[in-house]
Amino acid sequence: MFSKNFDHFLINFDRSLRVVSGHAKASRTTPGNTCAENSLSESEQKHSAGLMRVNHVGEVCAQALYDSQAVFSKSNEVRQQFARSAIEEEDHLAWTAERLQQLNSHTSVLNPLWYVGAYACGLVAGRCGDAISLGFVVETEKQVEAHLASHLQALPTTDEKSRAIVEQMRVDEIEHGTAAQNLGASDLPAPVKALMRGMAKLMTTTAYHV
C-alpha cells in the first residue's frame, strides 16, 4: 500500500508541476474558437480577464482535488472516474489559460498556493472514504456550476469566446457531479458545505485581481 501511494504521489507531483507552470494540454478543441473576436472596451476586457482567471484557478484546484482524492480511494471504479473527470478539467485549464492570453492578461500568481491548498483538502476528503469523497465532488461541482452560471450572466454579451468556454465547462461540471452521485456519494453535513462556500468565496475574490 505504501509503495502504491508513493508512486501515486510521484505521478501527482509531476502533474502538479505541469498544472502550476501552465503546461496543460487540451484533448478537445477550444469552444468558441470559431466565434469572432468582438471588440471589447478596456473595462470589459479587464472584467472578462478577471472572471477567466478565477475560472482558471478553479481548474488548478480541480486538478489538485481529483489527484489527491484518488490517493486513498479503495475503488478502481472511483479512481477511474476521477481520472476521466481530471482529463476534462485539464481541457478547462488549457482553454481558460489560452483565453487569458487572448485577453492580454495572466493566470493567478498564487496558483502554487491554490494547488497546495486544494490538494490538502482532497487528501482529507479521500481519507474519509469513497462515499464522503464522492460527496465532496458532488458538492464542489454543484457550487462550481452555480458559479459558472453567474459568470454567464456577468461576462460581456459581446465576449462570445469566453462565454462559449464557460458554457461548456458548466455542462462538464454537471456531468462530473452526476457521475459522482451515481457512484454512491454521501450528502455532506451543512457546516462542511458552508465552509466550502466560504473557502470558494475567498479564492474567487482574490483570484479575480491576482
**In angstroms, what CA-CA distances link 86 with 67, 187, 194?**
8, 22, 25
Q: What domain range is 169 assigned to?
A: 42-207
Q: Mind listing the pLDDT tens digit for each residue in 12-69?
A: 656 665 676 667 889 999 999 999 999 999 999 999 999 999 999 999 999 999 999 9
Whether 201 has a pLDDT exceeding 80, the answer reads yes
Q: What is the pLDDT of residue 24?
A: 80
Cβ neighbors of 174 (< 8 A, separation 6 or more) are 141, 145
If pLDDT is split at 50, 70 and 90, which confidence band does 3 have?
A: low
User: How many whole angstroms from its chain centre is CA 26?
Assistant: 14
Asked, for residue 180, whether it belongs to a domain, the answer is yes
CA distance 82 to 63: 10
Looking at residue 55, which CATH number applies to its domain?
1.20.1260.10
Q: Who wins on pLDDT, 136 or 17? A: 136
Angle of helix 42-69 relative to helix 130-154, nearest 10 degrees, comes to 170
Q: What is the pLDDT of residue 206?
A: 96
Asked, for residue 138, whether it belongs to a domain, the answer is yes
CB-based burial label for 128 (10 Å; 0-12, 13-18, 19+): middle
Q: What is the pLDDT of residue 146?
A: 96
Asked, for residue 66, whether it belongs to a domain, the answer is yes
CA distance 83 to 12: 12
Asked, for residue 32, whether it belongs to a domain, the answer is no
Asked, for residue 1, whether it belongs to a domain, the answer is no
Tell me what the pLDDT averaged over the chain comes to.
91
Asked, for residue 72, whether it belongs to a domain, the answer is yes
Q: Mind listing the pLDDT tens digit for each residue in 98-115?
A: 999 999 999 999 999 999
Asked, for residue 15, whether it belongs to a domain, the answer is no
Task: Name the domain count of the chain.
Answer: 1
Nearest alpha-carbon partner for 162 in 52, 34, 11, 2: 52
Supply the pTM of this predicted model: 0.91
CB 133 within 8 A of CB 78: yes
Asked, for residue 166, whether it belongs to a domain, the answer is yes
